[in-house]
Amino acid sequence: MDFNLSEEQKQLKSTIINFARNELNQGLEERERLGRFPSELWKKCAALNLLALPFEEEYGGCGFSFFNTVLAIEALAYGCKDAGLVHALGSTLISGLLIKIFGTENQKKNILPKLCRGELIAAQAITEPEAGSDVMSIQTRAIKAENNYLLDGRKMFISNAPIADVFLVLAITNPDRKSFAAHSFLLCEKFRPGVSLGKPLEKLGLRTLQNSEVIFDHCEIPLENLIGQEGQGMFIFNEMMEWERILFAACHLGTLTRILEMCLKYATERKQFGQPISKFQYISGKIARMKIAEELIRTYLYRLAIAKDQNQRLTLEASVLKVYASENLKTACFEALQLHGGYGFMLEYEIQRDLRDSLASTIYSGTSEINLQIISKLLRL
């Protein structure tokens, strides 16, 4: 494999980094404090076609490979310090990929062009109050009637929910069948009667990302809103987790690179005991470990992105990447705060925000513990 980027790919990353630095970081402290989603910046991202990257041109997309999409998201996370905005964009891209891969032609024509233009925000409604890591235990049901499904249930912690226009809902459609064939994905627009939202949730990190409960109360869903085949829900879920874990690892990599560079700059400029603190072995060792993690994540990430472009299944590999990237991002942010001493602990500096944001990375897309369980199972332990 040749991981050397072409000039076009280097230019892609450079363009997005410059855009993010110049357009997406202003006012972050205030909106992060208020927990406000920056709708105006979402529109700017759409204008740069960041929401159109992996979709075919016939649906208004850029026709990018998944590898090039990963490069773009890595660059966005590197240049944009608003991890909530980056996460919201990533969640919508994953929802769009679900429709691209499993949706009908009508679903693609109705959803993807609006998604690409930034006119539509999507959310995956999977987690429930009593079913987080144990997805098979979800209770939301969609009972098939003559011309529709009747959807009832509650979803919790749903990213993008308060601002979403459409939900991709995992529900039980065949309660009498074996558990793995009991679930299906349904497309539910926000305007449908019976859809309601809880209050936006206050979070420790990713505060500009909007999360809330979603309630479905006898919500009528047309039969044509079924995504894929009935009973295919868990297969679709497992497939999409691979794409999601790889895409969000690109976010983690971009952020980790920014943290590494910040620590390098501080350690060479900050002097104690008559010399830069980078000269102290314990400090230089922290930074060296960040560099090791960055290099290994990038190599593995690029390998998996290329493999997904070749339609390979990567259940084990995606879980390996997810655990390694998220845990090392969290560690790097903690070490960055420690390295900056008292300054790192102050709210006026950005390090504490990066640390708070990083904590969620080991929870969403499957906790580290669940991904370790997946790895162990596939190793037949």
C-alpha–C-alpha distance, residues 133 and 137, integer Å: 9
Strands 148-159 and 195-197, how do they pair?
unpaired
Q: Which of 300, 316, 305, 363 is nearest to 73 (CA)?
A: 305
The C-alpha angle with vertex 97 and arms to 187 and 43, in degrees rounded to 5, equals 90
CATH topology (fold) of 123-231 = Butyryl-CoA Dehydrogenase, subunit A; domain 2 (2.40.110)
pLDDT in tens, the chain (381 residues): 778 999 999 999 999 999 999 999 999 999 999 999 999 999 999 999 999 999 999 999 999 999 999 999 999 999 999 999 999 999 999 999 999 999 999 999 999 999 999 999 999 999 999 988 889 889 999 999 888 999 999 999 999 999 999 999 999 999 887 778 999 999 999 999 999 999 999 999 999 999 999 999 999 999 999 999 999 999 999 999 999 999 999 999 999 999 999 999 999 999 999 999 999 999 999 999 999 999 999 999 999 999 999 999 999 999 999 999 999 999 999 999 999 999 999 998 999 999 999 999 999 999 999 999 999 999 999
Determine if residue 360 is left, alpha or beta; phi over 0 gives left, psi from -120 to 50 gives alpha, anything else beta.
alpha
Q: Write down the domain spans for the chain.
A: 7-121, 123-231, 234-378
**From residue 174, how far is each of 100, 226, 353 by CA, in Å?**
24, 13, 44
Q: Which amino acid is at 57?
A: E
Residue 34: exposed, middle, or buried by beta-carbon count in 10 A (0-12, 13-18, 19+)? exposed
Q: What pLDDT is recorded for position 140?
A: 97
Element housing 171 (H / E): strand 166-172
40-78: b (≥16 Cβ within 10 Å) or e:
ebbeebbebbbbbbbbeeebbbbebebbbbbbbbbbbbb
Which of helix, strand or coil describes residue 125? strand
Instruction: Enumerate the active-site residues.
Output: 244
Same fold, 7-121 and 234-378: no
Query: Tell me, what's the pLDDT at 13?
Result: 98
Q: Which residues contact 276 (CB under 8 A, 6 or more apart)?
A: 267, 268, 269, 270
Given the candidates 3.40.50.1110, 3.40.50.300, 3.30.590.20, 1.10.540.10, the CATH classification of the domain at 7-121 is 1.10.540.10
**Predicted pLDDT of residue 51:** 98
Closest CA to 153 of 126, 134, 132, 178: 126
pLDDT of residue 252: 98
Q: Tell me how far CA of residue 249 lies from CA of 168, 328, 364, in angstroms.
A: 22, 11, 12
Query: What is the enclosing helix (H) or strand (E) of 235?
Result: helix 233-269
CATH code, residues 234-378: 1.20.140.10
User: How many residues would you count in the chain?
Assistant: 381
Residues 6+ apart with CB under 8 A from 376: none
| Helix pair angle (83-102, 105-116), 10° resolution | 160
CA distances from 3 to 68, 78, 137, 249, 301 (A): 12, 19, 41, 17, 11
Alpha-carbon distance 323 to 319, whole Å? 6
Specify the pLDDT at position 145. Answer: 87
- Phi, psi angles (nearest 5°) of residue 118: 80, 10
User: Where does 56-165 show beta strands of DSSP type E?
Assistant: 122-125, 141-144, 148-159
